[in-house]
Amino acid sequence: MSAPLRAVGTALPRVDADLKVTGAARYTVDVSLPRMLHVKVLRSPHAHARLAHIDARAAAAMPGVAAVVTRDDLRGLNATYGYFIKDQPIVALDKVRYMGDMVAAVAAETEEQAVRALERIEVRYEPLPAAATIEAALAAGAPTLFETPAPGIVPAYGTGASGFKDPAKNVCYRFCYTTGDPAAFARADHVFKDEFRFSRMQHYHLEPFVTVARVEGGEIELWSSCQNPFPLRKELARIFNHPEQNIRVHVPFVGAGYGAKNNCKTEPVAVLLAKKSGRPVRFCMTQEENFLTQSQHAAILRLETGVTRDGRFVARRSEILLDAGAYSDASPLVAEKAGYRINGPYRWEHIDSRCDCVMTNTTPAGPFRGFGGTQASWASESQIDMIARRLGLDPVAVRKKNLLKLGEAYVPGESGMDSNLAEGLDLVCREIGYGRGKRTKGRGIGIAIGFKDSGGVNKPAEAQVKATTTGGIIVNCGTVEIGQGIQTAFTRIVAELFACPPARVSYAPINTDATPFDQGTNASSAIVVMGQALERAARDCIARILDFAAAQLRCEAKDLRLENWSVIKDNQAHALAPMIMRHFGGTGFEFVGRGFFKPETDHHAPLEAKCVSWEIGWGAAEVDVDEETGRVTVCKLVVSGDAGRAIHKDACRGQDEGAAIMGLGQALFETMRFDGPELVNIAAAKYRVPLASDLPETFRAVTQEQGHGPGPFGAKGMGEAGMLPVAAAIANAIEDAVGVRITSLPLSPEKVLAALDAKRRGPDSWAGPDRPYEKP
Amino acid sequence: MSAAVAEIIAISLTLNGRAHSARVAPQMMLADFLRDACGLTGTKIGCDQATCGACTVLVDGAPLAACATFAWQIDGCTVTTIEGLATNAALDPVQEAFKAKSAFQCGYCTPGMILLAKALLAANPSPDHAAIRDWISANVCRCTGYQMIVEAVEDAARRLREAAR
């Protein structure tokens, strides 16, 4: 980090600023094709039922209707999809498994006509008992969601990790991780057992799930608001038995996702209707439908943690139950991550974790910012605080005693920490004023460290960089601009390497025919995985240019460097454009560089390969608890992530702040409320998300640049970390303030008040899950 | 096409500074009118329940949810969408401020937020932090955590005051 940088870290506006502040930015919702039809789907009113009969003939004859699809149209297709387990049908086959499950779809000239046609579809359901919660699905006599197991795979895990498909009734996947000797528990002075509950949120991305699709001349072409176009193409090819080279996926700007826009949502139905109607179709869900399509995972987390009396962590046994909803979606992967991350960035002698995906008759749960790490950080960071207080120790000192050091492996076979954890902890403690100032009644401070492995698992990425005759640079890679500012980050990185003004570098639109392969814009992987591929592509392109120039100047490439589209030799600049024209002729030329990155496959590493990077979110909250009402006011919230090197400081700050406020909503009020299997607070008018008025009076996000990241210029991914510590920091602050511990989210006034009441009456009267505890 | 339409209503309005007339179905929403009939896709539909504010436009200077307003209701009104702010390729000061402060991420709420802020600054040229927070609480931004938007509105107010001097 010695040389001054001219593009990286500068305060220049984001490259998408002009388009986004003028309304000119085009999203999939804005795509319109001539003769385009509109899609509406029929959704199940039952949480669980056998689909006894369905007849869509009357609907097909309705005015304006071009095509109707039901299960009869899935014959000959691979009709189910999913990440590890292919269990979700395009439209219901034999059963419906949640209220809102797609049963049939209509494409008509207008949405209104499509809605009218839906009313004419004859369906007879035979209702079945439903399991609406984790407990209900695991109870003896619970209804079975899948009578026959769906096809699926278990990854080839390495040392200590294992996966099991269908290990128990209504459990579609189990992830286990263990290391060290279970006898370590005997060396602990205390073993604490605690249970935590995590409630689920909806992603609430403002651009809905939407696809525009056409099928013409054997080609499937679609525009989709999706964050992983290449896996989507592969899945569509498999579903429709269609050659991959004849499927083209375009991804314009994406109106956010927070995890939701991975994998199939609207796409299979849209393609099916486009095929059947022979016309382009647009399937744009309403926000209610978004809520019926994907959610975060609710969870029950049981931790058994052995520690010495001076607060050293010895061993931990964890049992995590995730509410996967009605279809597996990304649940096996989320289970893998929750089970792997549950121990936090600390040193243990023994770890034994198990995470089950429990199928319930509710909205399918899928990827959500934090990806199991949010659930894990909530439970682990709450329990660490509880343990410290039980032992009469300072919670920050206990954390410090056990934190992994910079470079220290997370677990055997893993990569080392690429952040100095204590440095970040000191920073948020300083910012919040931890241990300073005098205590005020009802006020308290809590600290937490959110933690996740980042960069995905064993993830490959390819990038291409082109340089035109006149020195225009075009970045071509599959990372989707979903709000995080990746077009800005990547073009700045390339401008830095080319030593040219950032305005010289453009970011090509994504289309799977022309764009090099990427596995998906997720897992905070763009900077650390694609970023490394991109750096190699840029350097490859530059090497080609310098080789060319060296031949022209009759010298060696190592004696040349590139600057402002000139090559510099012995402090003399030689303009490249005329040199290229002289050699290649009047039409000029393009130099193309390619770069590839994938972590090395490593069967000793627990998860197929060593983790590329570690994403840490340090958080501190100061709360004021009204003991009369139980209302918690977060007066001050500090979060900090480590960008390694901030490629664009505002974008980094925005990621941390946005994530933190999402965490604040999760902590205090935001949750999907179910009455049995029915989602009660569906969509904006009933579902509460944080507004500007919810901002804490003091709110700070501090972007650290510790410089240890594997990405270009020492950068790390940091889009999720800001969310991870917030709920636990607030729960810890509540205990600090008024001496009650809430172990379930959200931290509502009702729960706080009940806990305060029970505390006043004494521990014996305590009935709820948030029981007080005795000091050992 | 739909045969259910009882009548077509003729409307005229000032749209982004220009006289405009159109014939609309009685059930057509203003958001659809702007997006589909006028090609002004900068107005975004988020919740379609007049709650998230992504579809905010200015009608006679006041912010309004276009997703919950019938097109015929704006007959005779002056409507400003995000496309109507920049003049001669120069950004409006509020747009400049959102750009300079990176007060957006995915950008989907941005047109609505900018128009909401325009209305605030027209009514109150020097709002403090609390006033800005209150006002922009009408709309949802799921990406930014709002603080950078608050700072952008503050910056926009400063830009507007300086321009007025």
- DSSP string over A58-90: HHHTSTTEEEEE-GGGGTTS--EE-SSB--EES
Pair of tokens at residue B110: 């941005």
First vs last C-alpha separation in chain B: 55
Looking at the complex, report in whole angstroms how far the Cα of residue B103 sits from the nearest Cα belonging to chain A: 8
Residue in A290, A90, A288 with CA at minimum distance from that of residue A209: A290
Whether A256 and B43 lie within 8 Å, measured CB to CB: no
Residues of A in contact with B45 (CB under 8 A): 29
Query: In one letter, which amino acid is A253?
Result: F
For range A573-596, the mean pLDDT:
97
Residues of B in contact with A695 (CB under 8 A): 133, 145-147, 150
Q: What number of helices (H) and strands (E) belong to chain B?
A: 5, 5
Q: Inform me whether the pLDDT recorded for A772 exceeds 60.
A: no
Report the relative pairing of strands A591-597 and B78-80 from DSSP bridges: unpaired
Q: Inform me whether the pLDDT recorded for A763 exceeds 70.
A: no
Are A513 and A248 in contact by the 8 Å Cβ rule? The answer is yes
Looking at the complex, report in whole angstroms how far the Cα of residue A464 sits from the nearest Cα belonging to chain B: 24
Residues of A in contact with B142 (CB under 8 A): 204-206, 256, 258, 658, 662, 689
Question: A–B: how many Cβ contacts below 8 A?
Answer: 180
Contacts with A218 (C-beta within 8 Å, 6 or more apart), sequence order: A246
Contacts with A171 (C-beta within 8 Å, 6 or more apart), sequence order: A138, A356, A357, A358, A359
Q: State pLDDT tens for residues A644-679.
A: 999 999 999 999 999 999 999 999 999 999 999 999
CA of A696: which chain B residue's CA is closest? B147
Are A492 and A7 in contact by the 8 Å Cβ rule? The answer is yes
A 10 A CB-CB count for A570 gives 7
- CB of B152 within 8 Å of any CB in chain A? no
For range A286-299, the mean pLDDT:
98
ω into residue A746 within 30 of 0, thus cis?
A: yes
Residues of A in contact with B80 (CB under 8 A): none
What crossing angle do the helices spanning A576-584 and A531-553 adopt, rounded to 10°?
70
Distance CA A656, CA A73 (A): 46
Distance CA A409, CA A179 (A): 13
Distance CA B30, CA A584 (A): 55
Q: Inform me whether the pLDDT recorded for A249 exceeds 80.
A: yes
Contacts with A149 (C-beta within 8 Å, 6 or more apart), sequence order: A165, A166
Contacts with A10 (C-beta within 8 Å, 6 or more apart), sequence order: A492, A502
Burial profile B16-39: b = 16 or more Cβ within 10 angstroms, e = fewer: beeeeebebbeebbbbbbbbeebe
Beta bridge partners of A353: A177, A318
Residues of B in contact with A689 (CB under 8 A): 140, 142
Residue in A337, A209, A325 with CA at minimum distance from that of residue A264: A209
pLDDT at A764: 61
Whether A662 and B145 lie within 8 Å, measured CB to CB: yes
Are B19 and B30 in contact by the 8 Å Cβ rule? The answer is no
CA distances from B108 to A487, B69, B114 (A): 16, 20, 11
pLDDT at A256: 98
Are A509 and A478 in contact by the 8 Å Cβ rule? The answer is no
CA distances from A634 to A399, A444, A618, A719 (A): 23, 10, 16, 22
Q: State pLDDT tens for residues A162-191.
A: 999 999 999 999 999 999 999 999 999 999
Q: Which residue has the tokens 């390819």?
A: A462
Q: Inform me whether the pLDDT recorded for A2 exceeds 70.
A: no
Distance CA A630, CA A750 (A): 6
- Kindly write down the DSSP assignment for every residue of B54-99, as one continuous string: TTEEEETTEEEEGGGSBGGGGTT-EEE-GGGT-BTTBPPHHHHHHH
- Kindly write down the DSSP assignment for every residue of A429-495, as one continuous string: HHHHTTT-S---TTEEEEEEEEEEEES-SS--EEEEEEE-TT--EEEEE----SSS-HHHHHHHHHH
Q: State pLDDT tens for residues A600-653.
A: 999 899 999 999 999 999 999 999 999 999 999 999 999 999 999 999 999 999
Q: Inform me whether the pLDDT recorded for B2 exceeds 90.
A: no
> Residues of chain A with pLDDT > 70: what percent?
98
Q: State pLDDT tens for residues A448-499.
A: 999 999 999 999 999 999 999 999 999 999 999 999 999 999 999 999 999 9
Report the relative pairing of strands A281-284 and A37-43 from DSSP bridges: parallel
Q: Which residue has the tokens 């809590």?
A: A446
pLDDT at A768: 46
Are A704 and A423 in contact by the 8 Å Cβ rule? The answer is yes
Distance CA B53, CA A617 (A): 30
CA of B46: which chain A residue's CA is closest? A206
- CB of B112 within 8 Å of any CB in chain A? no
Query: How buried is residue A246: exposed, middle or buried, by Cβ count under 10 Å (0-12/13-18/19+)?
Result: middle
Confidence band of A4 (pLDDT split at 50, 70, 90): low
Under the phi-then-psi rule, with left for phi > 0, alpha for psi from -120 to 50, and beta for the rest, what region is A372? left
Q: State pLDDT tens for residues B107-160.
A: 999 999 999 999 999 999 999 999 999 999 999 999 999 999 999 999 999 999
A 10 A CB-CB count for A131 gives 27
Residues 38-97 of B with CB under 8 A from A: 40-52, 54, 81-83, 85-86, 91, 95
- Kindly write down the DSSP assignment for every residue of A381-443, as one continuous string: HHHHHHHHHHTT--HHHHHHHHBPPBT-BSSTTSPBBSS-HHHHHHHHHHHHTTT-S---TTE
Q: Which residue has the tokens 């894990």?
A: A376
The half-sphere exposure of A337 on its side-chain side, counting CA atoms within 13 A, is 28
pLDDT at A455: 95
Distance CA A309, CA B86 (A): 66
Q: State pLDDT tens for residues A381-420.
A: 999 999 999 999 999 999 999 999 999 999 999 999 999 9
φ and ψ at residue A658, rounded to 5 degrees: -65, -45
Whole-number average pLDDT of chain B: 95
What crossing angle do the helices spanning B93-100 and B147-164 adopt, rounded to 10°?
140
Contacts with A487 (C-beta within 8 Å, 6 or more apart), sequence order: A14, A15, A16, A481, A507
Residues of A in contact with B107 (CB under 8 A): 16, 19-20, 25, 253, 255, 483
Contacts with A473 (C-beta within 8 Å, 6 or more apart), sequence order: A465, A466, A467, A494, A495, A498, A500, A504, A505, A506
Q: What number of helices (H) and strands (E) belong to chain A?
A: 17, 32
Whether A689 and B140 lie within 8 Å, measured CB to CB: yes
Whether A17 and B102 lie within 8 Å, measured CB to CB: yes
Mutate to test the interface with A, among B34, B92, B142, B153 (most CBs of A within 10 A): B142
Looking at the complex, report in whole angstroms how far the Cα of residue A444 sits from the nearest Cα belonging to chain B: 23
Q: In what order do the strands lie in the sheet with A632-642?
A: A443-454, A613-625, A632-642, A698-704
Strand runs labelled E in A268-410: 281-284, 299-307, 313-325, 350-359
CA of A204: which chain B residue's CA is closest? B142
Whether B106 and A483 lie within 8 Å, measured CB to CB: yes
Beta bridge partners of B78: B14
Total residue count of chain A as it appears in this document: 776
Whether B105 and A256 lie within 8 Å, measured CB to CB: yes
Residue in A28, A364, A15, A14 with CA at minimum distance from that of residue A206: A28
Contacts with A72 (C-beta within 8 Å, 6 or more apart), sequence order: A54, A56
Contacts with A250 (C-beta within 8 Å, 6 or more apart), sequence order: A221, A222, A223, A224, A229, A509, A510, A511, A512
Distance CA B108, CA A281 (A): 23
- Three-state helix/strand/coil letters over A241-270: CCCHHHEEEEECECCCCCCCCCCCCCHHHH
CA of A719: which chain B residue's CA is closest? B143
Across chain B, which distance is largest between two alpha carbons, in Å?
A: 57
Q: Where are the alpha helices (DSSP H) in A68-199?
A: 111-118, 134-138
Under the phi-then-psi rule, with left for phi > 0, alpha for psi from -120 to 50, and beta for the rest, what region is B153? alpha
Total residue count of chain B as it appears in this document: 165
